[in-house]
């Protein structure tokens, strides 16, 4: 797919416990990821509210969670199926198989990453996808 970056992240295998929360640290990108994600499908506005809530409650002790860029989300994509039938490192939960990104393709269209089929595509803002939040290690 055009404009769909793929950069393999082989260092994405360090789980870190922060209180009762499990995070995944990706040493190649210096990013912390939620190991799990939102359990439900969210519209883009709901996805932004979900991330705002993570910051409000200081999820895992941090207040700088956000939606990943397309490039960041694609950095989780494995070249072959590794987590059951998913193209994502087994350190992550098997759900969700799709996640929103912060990268817009057009005014009302946003990129998402699909680990079930190993690709990225885009969805309208009113569509529903889960969220896996990310933050930069400081």
Q: pLDDT tens, 9-68?
A: 554 566 667 777 889 998 888 899 999 889 899 999 999 999 999 999 999 999 999 999
Spatial distance between the Cα atoms of 110 and 126, rounded to a whole number of angstroms: 10
Closest C-alpha among 122, 7, 2, 14 to residue 76: 7
Q: Tokens for 55?
A: 């910051």
Residue 131 confidence (pLDDT) above 70: yes
Decide which of 61 and 7 is more confident.
61
Query: Which domains occur in the chain, in start order?
Result: 14-136 (3.10.100)
Residues 6+ apart with CB under 8 A from 112: 73, 98, 99, 100, 101, 120, 121, 122, 123, 129
Look-up: residue for tokens 């895992």?
A: 60
Residue 106 confidence (pLDDT) above 50: yes
- pLDDT at residue number 13: 60
């Amino acid at each position: 797919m055009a404009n769909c970056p793929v950069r393999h992240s082989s260092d994405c295998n360090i789980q870190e416990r922060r209180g009762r929360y499990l995070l995944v640290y990706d040493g190649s990108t210096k990013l912390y990821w939620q190991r799990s994600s939102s359990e439900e499908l969210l519209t883009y506005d709901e996805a932004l509210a979900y991330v705002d809530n993570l910051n409000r409650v200081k999820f895992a002790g941090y207040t700088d969670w956000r939606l990943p860029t397309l490039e960041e989300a694609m950095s989780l994509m494995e070249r072959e199926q590794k987590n059951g039938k998913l193209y994502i490192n087994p350190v992550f939960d098997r759900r969700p198989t799709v996640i929103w990104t912060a990268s817009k393709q057009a005014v009302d269209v946003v990129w998402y990453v699909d680990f079930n089929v190993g690709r990225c595509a885009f969805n309208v803002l009113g569509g529903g996808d889960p969220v896996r939040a990310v933050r930069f290690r400081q």
